[in-house]
Amino acid sequence: MKKMSRLKLFTCLVAAVVLGPSANTSQAQTAGQPAPDHPAVTIQGRTFTPRSILARNMGTQEDQTTQFPPHKIIGNIYYVGTRTLSSFLVVTPQGNILIDSTYERNIPTIEKSVMQLGFKFSDIKILLGSHAHGDHQEGDALVKQLTGAQVMAMAEDVPALQAIKPGGKEHPIDKMLRDGESVTLGDTTLVAHLTPGHTRGCTTWTMKAQEGGKTYNVVINCSLRPPAVLTPALVNEFNHSFKLVRSLPCDVQLGDHPAQYNMQEKHAKLQNGGLNPFIDAASCTLEADIEEAMFHAILDEQRKAAQP
């Protein structure tokens, strides 16, 4: 038994060293180093492992770069991302805000989606992000180059963002944000909530959207996916973040990967007319439920493996 658990811990630690806590974790994991297939947690009848969550989030290489039909989510918020990498456009009379550029190679696809919705890519005035991983913010420099948008980022993510340099391009940072700071353009205000763990500056965005004479609370979650090895510092960060995201008023939950809010199923329901399927307060904490259960399962496994 002793040998087994040591071996298990060793395997996890090797995986952690190989994957590293760097800006490239998700890419590294998809580029041949699979996430571990243990532990497993079951939420609402569905079983997840770190590997299955990563596969659910990323899909295939093709999914990461193939346009998903651009669509209005609610109010002035639109989806302009690929099948598995979210990019959101917030439209205001004074110009638009883009949240997450994704991979640099996806910029022409995002531009096409913005145009197909009837908006101009050059009207993007502010570029925000969820977190400093290449699959979410690698394209920032190119978006800045094409639109002149102001790039704003949570201060805690700035060092990791500066390490993302596609083709040697410096990562632009025009303004550093602090936890709780607001970003306003036209009639829209987004609030940046620091929800660290997945990255140091992982940012959950909240805003209000109007539809049918009503106001809805929208929460755009940053990934809550824990890594294979949890240090005491990470444990503190995740505990803070799970508590915080659960405290946010929410009618519409979105996420940096569409699978985090079952976009495909909800989008399919759009065609039926009737109530907006993205208004779904009951599922607002589902992703936090999955990731928090996984976090505790990883922690338990780690503690057992460390026992003499």
Residues lying near Zn ion in the complex (CB under 5 A) are found at: 26, 133, 223
Q: What is the DSSP string of 88-140?
A: EEEEETTEEEEE---SGGGHHHHHHHHHHTT--GGGEEEEE-S-SSHHHHTTH
Minimum distance of Zn ion from residue 131's CB (angstroms): 6
Q: Least distance (Å) from Zn ion to the CB of residue 93?
A: 33
Q: Which C-beta is closer to Zn ion: that of 91 or that of 263?
A: 263
| Nearest distance in Å: CB 203, Zn ion | 12
Handedness of CA 229, 139, 74, 69 (dihedral sign): negative
With CA atoms as reference, report the closest residue to 26 among 202, 173, 151, 169: 202
CB of 26 to Zn ion, least distance (A): 5
How buried is 134 (Cβ within 10 angstroms: 0-12 exposed, 13-18 middle, 19+ buried)?
Answer: buried
Identity of the residue, 50 or 277, whose beta carbon is nearer to Zn ion in the bound complex:
50
Q: What is the sign, positive or negative, of the torsion defined by CA atoms of 281, 80, 288, 240?
A: negative
Nearer to Zn ion, 85 or 173 (CB): 85
Closest CA to 177 of 197, 157, 163, 198: 157
User: Considering beta carbons, is residue 35 or 124 the nearer one to Zn ion?
Assistant: 35
| Residue 51 exposed, middle or buried by CB count within 10 Å (0-12, 13-18, 19+) | middle
Cβ closest to Zn ion, residue 29 vs residue 188: 29
Helix segments in 221-262, DSSP class H: 232-247
Q: Considering the complex, state which of residue 201 and residue 277 has its C-beta at the smaller distance from Zn ion.
A: 201
Closest contact distance (angstroms) between CB of 190 and Zn ion is 20
Which residue is at the shortest CB distance from Zn ion? 133
CA distance 137 to 131: 7
Query: Shortest approach of Zn ion to residue 21 CB, angstroms?
Result: 11
Least spacing, CB of residue 24 vs Zn ion, in Å: 10
Q: What is the DSSP letter of 36?
A: P
Which is nearer to Zn ion, 5 or 49 (by Cβ)?
49
Task: Give the residue among 13, 14, 253, 256 at the shortest CA–CA distance from 134.
Answer: 256
